Amino acid sequence: MREWVSWILLDHADQVEIALRLIVAALAGMAVGLNRDIHNKPIGMRTLGLVALGSATVILSGSVYEGLHFGQDAVSRVVQGIMTGLGFLGAGAIIKGRDNSEVHGLTTAATVWIAASLGVTAALGAWFITFAGTVMTLVVLTVGKSLEDRLVRLFSGRAKTVDEDS
Alpha carbons 123 and 129: distance in angstroms, whole number: 11
Give pLDDT tens digits for 82-125.
Answer: 778 777 767 776 776 666 666 677 788 888 888 888 988 888 88
Give CA separation, 43 vs 75, 108, 114, in Å.
27, 7, 13
Q: Is the pTM of this model over 0.75?
A: no
| Tens digits of residue pLDDT in 79-88 | 788 778 777 7
| Other Cβ atoms within 10 Å of 166 Cβ, number | 17
